[in-house]
């Protein structure tokens, strides 16, 4: 091989290797946070169970598994309950360790507990567990142990082992001290009997050790006592040491914002914010049913004003680690509930694959205004994106692309088109769109509320798309029979058998026109469609079956889907009736109708995602569409099962 050829090959191989490495890095980089906790509300018999929640920003949290336990305490503990779970990412970045208090106060009270639980996982979803009963395993030293509380784990880089530490109280001594022991290799037990790690002057619970800049910081709930031993103050304190084994130097300052008030806190836990130098000190306001945090960048000085965690659950003493998108996807596949921002691909080569389980087919995003295109054995779904649940108005800033070969297993692609890509769209609204293919190019016609209808183009069905014109294709000036500002919306394109492309659109009035071969210019005059029984609201869609043209559209408000038939695409159309009744929990309706693998399908949206679905937070569904012998269509039966049968 010539040296020049070898050089080219080396460069190509290096580029390929770098691309693979970048893809791995993108999949592994921190994207959000996982919170392990036990619940503080509801049935007391189910509160002391392990639960997970996730967040993208460490402030807005969503419970996984509908806030049900992810593991049964009856299966992993001696008592039937767990408290104070602490989760740690292993030094290899791929393994995970979790410890918890083995205690079921709802059944056994606060009298005593035997020990702790150790758990290990390689994927965050499958956990091996073991229990440690200090009195039974180490009777010489711990036969009179009363409490073994709030264990945590830290990696010791000197010993190259994981140190588990926890609070111990015995029956003969009220002092609360921290003991520790190294875990064995498989994290199923201790190497030897625990020894004293730290004895705060007035005792302490809920220890949390963080290493930063050559110093170990030991945070704990401490207290102050007067000369006769009466507690006069309590809250979050810290001690420091250059060695994990101590000695620890106590700083008797209180760090939490409530130490000088009657509000009590415990369960302090620190974690670093992704991509910053800041840390969060969060704690449990257990008597008030709140969870709050303060910020720090040096672990000594903390923000004075506490901030609240926003959440759909009521956590008690827990802990947080950073997680990647791949880990978020694993968690979602096991328990569900992960929000879309932690699942959706962002990098050009990334994909998110998921399985639809009935209707709605997409549950991690709020999606609306479906448009579908079939190419070969693949159905491509182009969706509007309602940005959040429980919205009180339309907030839509981008569109999302999905594909499937069986209507059950779906692929989500990185967002390839945003309303900000159309610099002329001053409305900032990413309303309904439609995609079609011509001459190897893919054209995405979008509406932007009052700014007009635009068109973007791409070389692949998933994009990326770019503005094809730099200006709107159609504006309100083209809607000659309309007087309201949102008349120029909801484009739908149909390419007839003779190759002529048509575009339909409108609100209150239905307009149509021919498109030129280049797909980015109107060919001739804009016309208005009208016929007896039309009652047009919006969302036109044209399809063809057995030589007949079908125009379906949203009618009245709240919207139903009606349809009409014609022998020619420009009519005259004959009204045939209601095709789809009001979709659950949504004032609007919007349909796509396509044939896919010998079956016709009706794709629409409703407000069916619980608990935050609604008219402004919608979700796409799919059900079958069937014709009668005379070409008319059977009324759509909207189902929960959808096309997947789940």
CATH number at residue 247: 2.115.10.20
Residues 462 and 146: their CA atoms lie apart, in Å, by 61
Secondary structure of residue 290 in the 3-state scheme: strand
Helices (H) and strands (E) in the chain, counts: 7, 42
pLDDT score, position 646: 62
Q: Which of 276, 310, 335 is the last residue of a domain?
A: 335
Q: What is the mean pLDDT of residues 630-639?
A: 98
Strands laid side by side in the 249-251 sheet: 205-212, 215-225, 231-241, 249-251
My answer on whether 280 and 420 are in the same domain is: no
The model's confidence at residue 48, banded by pLDDT at 50, 70 and 90, is very high
Residues 200 and 205: their CA atoms lie apart, in Å, by 10
Residue from 271, 345, 417, 414 nearest 26 by CA: 345
Residue 8 lies in a domain: no
Predicted TM-score (pTM) of the model is 0.89
Residue 16 lies in a domain: no
Residues 355 and 504: their CA atoms lie apart, in Å, by 33
Residues 318 and 85: their CA atoms lie apart, in Å, by 5
My answer on whether 353 and 390 are in the same domain is: yes
Indicate if the pLDDT at residue 380 is higher than 70. yes
pLDDT score, position 61: 97
Task: Give the structural domain span for 436.
Answer: 344-625
Q: Of residues 292, 341, 538, 559, which has the active-site annotation?
A: 538
pLDDT digits (tens, 9 = 90+) for 91-149: 999 999 999 999 999 999 999 999 999 999 999 999 999 999 999 999 999 999 999 99
pLDDT score, position 229: 87
- Are 152 and 86 a contacting pair, CB within 8 Å? yes
Residues 496 and 502: their CA atoms lie apart, in Å, by 8
What residues have CB less than 8 Å from 464, skipping those under 6 apart? Answer: 348, 416, 417, 458
My answer on whether 399 and 308 are in the same domain is: no
Ramachandran class of 449: left when φ > 0, alpha when ψ lies in -120 to 50, beta otherwise: left
Residues 344 and 416: their CA atoms lie apart, in Å, by 12
Residues 645 and 358: their CA atoms lie apart, in Å, by 6
Question: How is residue 78 annotated by DSSP?
Answer: S
pLDDT score, position 644: 84
pLDDT score, position 25: 41
Residues 529 and 590: their CA atoms lie apart, in Å, by 19
Secondary structure of residue 75 in the 3-state scheme: helix
Indicate if the pLDDT at residue 420 is higher than 50. yes
My answer on whether 518 and 388 are in the same domain is: yes
Q: Which of 292, 313, 335 is the last residue of a domain?
A: 335
In total, how many domains does the chain have? Answer: 2
Q: What percent of the chain has pLDDT over 70?
A: 96
Q: What is the mean pLDDT of residues 249-270?
A: 96
Residue 570: active-site member: no
My answer on whether 355 and 311 are in the same domain is: no
Indicate if the pLDDT at residue 444 is higher than 90. yes
Q: What is the mean pLDDT of residues 441-449?
A: 98
Secondary structure of residue 555 in the 3-state scheme: strand
My answer on whether 606 and 586 are in the same domain is: yes
My answer on whether 399 and 296 are in the same domain is: no
My answer on whether 323 and 385 are in the same domain is: no
pLDDT score, position 18: 44
Q: Of residues 369, 467, 490, 509, which has the active-site annotation?
A: 369
Residue 538: active-site member: yes
My answer on whether 323 and 351 are in the same domain is: no
Per-residue b/e over 375-389, b at no fewer than 16 CB within 10 Å? eeeebbbbbbbbbeb
Q: Which of 335, 361, 390 is the last residue of a domain?
A: 335
């Amino acid at each position: 091989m010539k040296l020049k050829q070898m050089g080219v090959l080396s460069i190509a191989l290096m580029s390929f290797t770098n691309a693979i490495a970048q893809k791995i890095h993108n999949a592994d980089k921190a994207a959000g946070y996982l919170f392990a906790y036990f619940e503080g509300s509801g049935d007391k018999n189910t509160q002391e169970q392990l639960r997970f929640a996730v967040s993208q920003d460490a402030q807005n949290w969503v419970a996984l598994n509908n806030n049900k336990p992810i593991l049964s305490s009856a299966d992993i503990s001696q008592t039937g309950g767990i408290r104070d779970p602490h989760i740690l990412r292993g030094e290899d970045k791929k393994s995970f360790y979790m410890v918890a208090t083995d205690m079921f106060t709802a059944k056994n009270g606060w009298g005593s507990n035997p020990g702790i639980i150790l758990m290990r996982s390689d994927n965050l979803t499958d956990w091996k567990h073991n229990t440690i009963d200090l009195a039974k395993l180490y009777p010489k030293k711990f036969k009179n142990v009363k409490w073994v509380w709030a264990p945590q784990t830290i990696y010791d880089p000197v010993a190259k082992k994981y140190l588990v530490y926890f609070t111990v109280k015995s029956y003969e001594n009220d002092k609360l001290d921290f003991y520790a022991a190294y875990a064995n290799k498989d994290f199923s037990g201790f190497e030897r009997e625990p020894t004293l790690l730290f004895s705060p002057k007035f005792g302490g619970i809920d220890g949390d050790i963080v290493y930063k800049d050559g110093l170990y910081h030991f945070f704990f709930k401490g207290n102050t006592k007067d000369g006769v031993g009466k507690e006069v103050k309590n809250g979050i304190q810290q001690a420091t040491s250059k060695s994990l084994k101590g000695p620890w130097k106590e700083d008797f300052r209180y760090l939490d914002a409530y130490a000088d008030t009657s509000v009590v806190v415990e369960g302090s836990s620190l974690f670093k914010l992704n991509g910053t130098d800041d840390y969060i000190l969060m704690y449990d306001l257990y008597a008030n049913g709140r969870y709050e945090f303060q910020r720090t960048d040096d672990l000594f000085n903390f923000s004075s004003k506490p901030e609240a965690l926003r959440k759909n659950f009521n956590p008690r003493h827990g802990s947080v680690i950073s997680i990647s998108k791949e880990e978020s996807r694993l968690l979602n596949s096991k328990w569900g509930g992960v929000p879309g921002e932690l699942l959706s691909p962002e990098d050009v080569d990334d994909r998110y694959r998921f399985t639809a389980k009935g209707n709605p087919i997409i549950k991690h995003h709020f999606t609306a205004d479906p448009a579908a295109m079939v190419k070969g054995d693949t159905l491509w779904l182009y969706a509007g994106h309602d940005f959040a649940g429980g919205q009180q108005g339309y907030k839509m800033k981008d569109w999302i692309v999905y594909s499937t070969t069986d209507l059950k297993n779906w692929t989500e692609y990185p967002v390839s088109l945003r309303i900000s890509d159309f610099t002329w769209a001053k409305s900032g609204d990413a309303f309904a769109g439609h995609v079609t293919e011509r001459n190897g190019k893919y054209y995405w016609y979008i509406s932007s509320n009052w700014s007009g209808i635009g068109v973007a183009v791409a070389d692949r069905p998933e994009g990326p798309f770019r503005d094809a014109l730099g200006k709107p294709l159609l504006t309100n000036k083209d809607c000659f029979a309309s007087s309201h500002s949102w008349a120029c919306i909801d484009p739908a394109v149909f390419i007839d058998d003779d190759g002529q492309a048509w575009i339909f659109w409108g609100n209150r009035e239905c307009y149509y026109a021919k498109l030129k071969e280049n797909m980015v210019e109107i060919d001739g005059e804009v016309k208005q469609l009208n016929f007896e029984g039309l009652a047009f609201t919006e969302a036109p869609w044209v399809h063809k079956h057995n030589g007949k043209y079908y125009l379906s559209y949203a009618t009245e408000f709240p919207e139903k889907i009606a349809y009409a038939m014609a022998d020619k695409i420009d009519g005259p159309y004959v009204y045939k009736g209601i095709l789809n009744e009001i979709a659950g929990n949504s004032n609007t309706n919007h349909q796509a109708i396509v044939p896919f693998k010998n079956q016709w399908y009706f794709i629409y949206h409703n407000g069916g995602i619980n608990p935050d679905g609604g008219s402004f937070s919608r979700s796409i569904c799919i059900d079958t569409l069937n014709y009668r012998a005379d070409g008319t269509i059977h009324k759509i039966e909207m189902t929960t099962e959808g096309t997947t049968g789940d």
